[in-house]
């Protein structure tokens, strides 16, 4: 078996530990300490997040979509596939090193979504965009942790709290959708989405697409 090689590491703010990039042959892995956040061989559900979250937006004249975070770019690339030429895709990535890794090592995996003229990459906490936006986005696609709990950084808990969900509601246009990726289901999170006023649908999807790999959850929460 080919051993993993560590390509780079970066600090996570607020003493959150380190994020590491590993490579083994043509496979890449992003990990927080020993916990895998993303693997290049399993991206079916990350793409599904965009397919479901952007469904129907291909017919919208100038849709505006926010993706948090970049990871290996699969969600961003799948969103671009759904959207027309006048779309605006804002991708928020907390860690500048992840953006650099996409430019140096990972871009080819998802077809270089950062090179698309519709993409604006911002090195920023997605929470900062959500907090300061009003009726701006047709869709907000969140895949920043392994579920509705702050894993990358403790501060991400806010995104899944009532305060964060209320802010995302305000940031969406009427009828807009908040789509959230998770490794597993959470009745408590579904309850919070409903309490914040969303119409909620929960989809089960597979990690590798075509019915293969682990089962993941995607919440689709519409602003009424």
Ligand X SMILES: C[S@@+](CC[C@H](N)C(=O)[O-])C[C@H]1O[C@@H](n2cnc3c(N)ncnc32)[C@H](O)[C@@H]1O
Find out whether 117 and 36 touch, Cβ atoms under 8 Å: no
Tokens representing residue 174 in the block: 């009427």
Given the rule CB under 6 A, which of 20-28, 67-75, 131-139, 196-204 is the region that contacts ligand X?
67-75
d(C-alpha 126, C-alpha 118), whole Å? 18
Q: For 31, phi and psi rounded to 5 degrees?
A: -130, 145
**How many residues make contact with ligand X (CB under 6 A)?**
25
Query: Considering only residues 123-182, where is the footprint of ligand X by CB under 6 A?
Result: 125-127, 143-144, 152-153, 156
Tokens representing residue 175 in the block: 């009828």
Q: Using CB under 6 A, which of 16, 63, 73, 113 touches ligand X?
A: 73
Find where tokens 């929960």 sit. 202
Tell me: does residue 72 bind ligand X (CB under 6 A): yes
Tell me: does residue 38 bind ligand X (CB under 6 A): yes
Binding characters for ligand X, 88-127, by CB under 6 A (x = yes): ----xxxx--x--------------------------xxx
Stated as kind and residue range, the H or E segment containing 93 is: strand 88-93
Tell me: does residue 68 bind ligand X (CB under 6 A): yes
* Residues in Cβ contact with 194 at an 8 Å cutoff, skipping those fewer than 6 apart: 200
Given the rule CB under 6 A, which of 53-61, 70-78, 164-172, 211-219 is the region that contacts ligand X?
70-78
Q: Using CB under 6 A, which of 37, 54, 177, 179 touches ligand X?
A: 37
Handedness of CA 216, 101, 153, 166 (dihedral sign): negative
Chain centroid, CA 90 distance in Å: 11
Query: Judged by CB, which is closer to ligand X: 80, or 193?
Result: 80
Binding residues for ligand X (CB under 6 A): 37-38, 43, 46, 68-75, 92-95, 98, 125-127, 143-144, 152-153, 156
């Amino acid at each position: 078996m080919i051993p993993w090689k560590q390509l780079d590491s970066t600090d996570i703010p607020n003493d959150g530990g380190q994020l590491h990039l590993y490579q083994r042959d043509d496979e890449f892995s992003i990990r927080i300490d020993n916990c895998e956040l993303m693997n290049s061989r399993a991206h079916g559900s990350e793409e599904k997040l965009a397919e479901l979250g952007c469904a129907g937006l291909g017919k919208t004249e100038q849709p505006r979509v926010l993706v948090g975070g970049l990871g290996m770019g699969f969600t961003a690339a799948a969103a671009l596939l759904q959207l027309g030429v006048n779309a605006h895709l804002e991708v928020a990535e907390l860690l500048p090193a992840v953006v650099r890794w996409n430019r140096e090592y990972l871009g080819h995996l998802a077809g270089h979504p950062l090179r698309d003229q519709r993409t604006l990459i911002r090195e920023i906490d997605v929470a900062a965009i959500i907090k300061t936006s009003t009726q701006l986005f047709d869709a907000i696609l969140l895949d920043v942790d392994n579920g509705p709990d702050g894993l990358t950084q403790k501060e991400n808990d806010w995104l899944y709290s009532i305060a964060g969900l209320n802010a995302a509601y305000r940031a969406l246009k009427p009828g807009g959708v908040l789509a959230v990726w998770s490794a597993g289901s959470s009745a408590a999170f579904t309850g919070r989405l409903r309490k914040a006023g969303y119409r909620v649908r929960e989809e089960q999807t597979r990690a590798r697409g075509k019915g293969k790999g682990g089962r993941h959850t995607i919440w689709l929460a519409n602003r009424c």
